[in-house]
Amino acid sequence: EVQLVESGGGLVKPGGSLRLSCAASGFTFSSYSMNWVRQAPGKGLEWVSSISSSSSYIYYADSVKGRFTISRDNAKNSLYLQMNSLRAEDTAVYYCARDPPTDAFDIWGQGTMVTVSS
């Protein structure tokens, strides 16, 4: 079964850091681009960042550029999001999502909640 499982969310103070992980199974992880998408409480979906299969191409939303870093370890079938200088507006459920060839977001994880509050 194709599956994505996020972890690493929690409560962090403004200015703090957190590292999210996404464990992939059931498919050849190294062949797919991957993404992080977030959803603030009661709000819509916002794309955060994307990384190509070999990490050659990386993109960020302007709202997180310079603060967040996406990475992957194909040997461990894992995707990561290092989040620094966190702000209250970063509070959201963070989903990892797979890109099928030439398209976007065909498989989603269950999400992990990040709360930024003092």
Partner 1 sequence: DVVMTQSPLSLPVTLGQPASISCRSSQSLVYSDGNTYLNWFQQRPGQSPRRLIYKVSNWDSGVPDRFSGSGSGTDFTLKISRVEAEDVGVYYCMQGTHWPRTFGQGTKLEIK
Nearer to partner 1 by Cβ, of 102 and 118: the residue is 102
CB of 50 to partner 1, least distance (A): 8
Q: Which of 9, 21, 47, 84 binds partner 1 (CB under 8 A)?
A: 47
Altogether, the residues listed in the chain come to a count of 118
Q: Which of 27, 91, 105, 113 binds partner 1 (CB under 8 A)?
A: 105
Per-residue DSSP letters for the chain? --EEEEE--EEE-TT--EEEEEEEESS-GGGSEEEEEEE-TT--EEEEEEE-TTS--EEE-TTTTTTEEEEEEGGGTEEEEEE-S--GGG-EEEEEEEEPTTS---EE---EEEEE--
Does residue number 27 form part of the binding site for partner 1 (CB under 8 A)? no
Residues 65-94 that bind partner 1 (CB under 8 A): none
Q: Which of 5, 9, 23, 45 binds partner 1 (CB under 8 A)?
A: 45
Question: What is the Cα Rg of the chain in Å?
Answer: 13
CB of 83 to partner 1, least distance (A): 18
Summarize as ranges the residues that interact with partner 1 (CB under 8 A).
37, 44-47, 50, 59, 61-62, 95, 100, 102-106, 108-111
